Amino acid sequence: MSVLFMVPCEITEDGLNTISPAAMSIIKRLKYYVAERARTSRRFLSRCNLDFPISDLEIIEIKEPTQPQVEEMIKWLKAGHEVGVMSESGMPGIADPGQLFAQAAHKHGFRVQPLVGPSSLFLALAASGLSGQSFAFQGYLPIKEPLLKKRLQNLNSLAQKGQTQIFIEAPYRNKRLFNFLLKYLDKNLRLTVATDVSGLQESISTFKVNQWNGSSQKVKDKIPTIFLVGK
């Protein structure tokens, strides 16, 4: 029976051990993928010691998904193929376009099966010390300061009510965002900075906003980072 697998990949290139053996056994046999970036996916799959030549892979790149791409995936499933959806990093369908393909598979009556693997968002939340009972992922915040200020005021209110707020930034703007967080967040809220989660440079620290002053060296540009705010 055709199945759409939500396939995890490493968060960092030294993190192959974070993929479960059960997931790896399926990854080794899959030949059909829709992937956020084909080049990144091929690099990951080449490290997985596939049961066939890497040249046999069929990959649709879905950085900006289109309806024809969705229809092509459904054709694969209707033909009896097992298909994998793969993110640029971690679990697909979370902060990437993979959700559209899972949605289409459900619509056409195909089973969607998630495989066990790392998610930087949930790993950061688990290690933050902030509430895991009520939380929300906000994705990327606005870049322009007036809009960013307005959004942070809203996040302040939500965090003060006990809901942990999780968000990300393009790695080269980490320090810029961090400085705005110190400027506009309520000083008594707690702020977690989780860098290179599951990687060799992993660093996860939580302090009250007013305690972060002087600790900006913990925030690094060019390294994927998760930010969390809560009580």
pLDDT tens track for 115-130: 999 999 999 999 999 9
Question: What pLDDT, on a 0 to 100 scale, did the predictor assign at position 216?
Answer: 59
Percent of the chain at pLDDT above 70? 98
Q: What's the pTM?
A: 0.90
- Virtual torsion, Cα 9, 14, 18, 19, nearest 10 deg: 40
Alpha carbons 134 and 110: distance in angstroms, whole number: 31
Which pLDDT band, with edges at 50, 70 and 90, does 35 fall under? very high
Q: Is the pLDDT reported for residue 217 higher than 70?
A: no
How much is the average pLDDT of 54-70?
93
* Window from 84-88, 102-106, 147-151, 215-219 with minimum mean pLDDT: 215-219
**Structural domains of the chain, ranges and CATH numbers in brackets:** 3-114 (3.40.1010.10), 120-230 (3.30.950.10)
